[in-house]
A = this chain, B = another copy of it.
Amino acid sequence: MTARTLQGFMELLPQEQLVFNHMKSVIAHTYEKFGFAPLDTPVLELAEVLLSKSGGETEKQIYEFTRGDTNLAMRFDLTVPLAKYVALYNNDLTFPFKRYQIGKVYRGERPQKGRFREFYQCDIDIIDRDELNIVYDAEVLAVIYTIFSELKLPAFKIYINNRKLLSGYLEHLEIADKTVDVLRLVDKIKKIPEEAFLEELKKLGLPEEKNSQLLKFIKINGLNNEVIKQLENLNVEKENFVTGLGELKIVIETAQKLGMPEENIQIDLSITRGLDYYTGTVYETFFDEYPQFGSVCSGGRYDNLSSVFMDKKFPGVGISIGLTRLFDQLRANNLLPIKALTPNKALIITQGEEFISEAVKLAGNLRKSDIAVDVMYRQCKFKKKMEYANKIGVPYLIIIGEEEANSKKYALKDMSSGEQMSLTVDDLIEKLK
């Protein structure tokens, strides 16, 4: 039998897994710091529940199978399970309901570079009944900013927009009947040349004058306060526009009060994030020097989470980080934030079988003080032991021989500087803490 792992399923070596887990735990920890409670829904759900509101593309990719007379499916995102969860338990939940979920999702895509069939999504959502305060949209911005700052990744920028602005502006231009087509085009604007964009607009049968106004609108840029001023100066009076601008102002002002640097947040009127789901604020996050990674954290505000399952209205705002893909891209570009080879702070080696029990005792003491240590029980030449310590990349080596066992002062070797000290247990603990 040949051991094989399925294509499109990421499987890491321990030293990579440590980095992956570090990133995962920075994300989880930040989510908790912002008051989000963890959630963990099943990987398997009734197929009819998962497919209740999905379109054609997703349906083709879903892993679905029958067991007895039940159609089962593996979740393809964490949003539909959340909608189900809120519908099922809303009487037991306290609103606003702030939850995070970090888990694997499944899509049976054709395997290709950078595409995974099993991948981690790291989601937050804030859901309320009937109405959700706009300040949460700024809080979500702060969450994205905090995570990407703490991950120590390349320079990043969060692009923000409010979908009501474009809708309102199209009403203002009296071409609101073309909203769906225009939104689809705007979504593409960064990928096609300006002429091609105008050409496509023309094809929609829109008068040239309106097209150039639209292009000018989408291209409004500058510092965030300047963009807002330019938007105000347009004097558009449509309700959608006025509301959207008011919301965007609150989000940007709050971000500024929270001390988020201007260079990390940019209003971009061309960000639309698909067609149906989002209704207000939308976010995308790009690395300044690596636009080819695509958006590494996206999301937005929606009017109703669970319309398929419920009559009641649950508006929300949320984001998702596709961690597996992000990790894969960072790794391929040598951008992983830390280099860890072992979870251990120190490795204990002994100069002979007879000191193993001393090593075991010392390891027990260090672990009681919450210091991760490993012991090498195998006896071999000192050189071999050093080779092993280097290979696993442990920062400190503790050596126990005759002298150390008698004096209860242990030799501690700093593996990077080569420096060696002789320390009591208490000093060791203090040093390694």
Contact = CB atoms under 8 A, between A and B. Distances in A.
A83 B343 CA distance: 22
A40 B17 contact: yes
Interface string A1-25: 1111110011111110110110000
A309 B3 contact: yes
Nearest to A259: B364
A72 interface: yes
Given A42-B5, A44-B6, A367-B146, A14 B93 contact: yes
Given A4-B88, A40-B12, A67-B63, A356 B135 contact: yes
B5 A45 contact: yes
Nearest to A364: B258
Contacts of A32: 343, 372
A378 B96 contact: yes
A357 interface: yes
Given A138-B360, A258-B360, A372-B34, A20 B2 contact: no
Q: Classify the interface of chain A: helix, strand, loop or mixed.
A: mixed
Interface of A: 1-6, 9-15, 17-18, 20-21, 32-46, 48-49, 52, 63, 65, 67, 70, 72, 74, 83-85, 87-89, 92-94, 96-99, 104, 106, 108, 117-118, 128, 133, 135-136, 138-139, 142, 146, 253-254, 257-259, 306, 308-310, 342-344, 356-357, 360-361, 364, 367, 370-375, 377-378, 388, 391-392
19 contacts: A3-B88, A3-B309, A4-B84, A5-B42, A5-B45, A9-B42, A14-B93, A20-B40, A35-B343, A37-B342, A63-B65, A63-B67, A63-B72, A65-B65, A94-B388, A133-B377, A146-B367, A253-B357, A258-B360
Given A5-B41, A65-B65, 17 more contacts: A3-B85, A5-B84, A5-B88, A11-B41, A11-B85, A12-B40, A14-B39, A14-B97, A17-B37, A17-B40, A33-B367, A35-B344, A35-B374, A44-B118, A94-B391, A133-B377, A258-B360
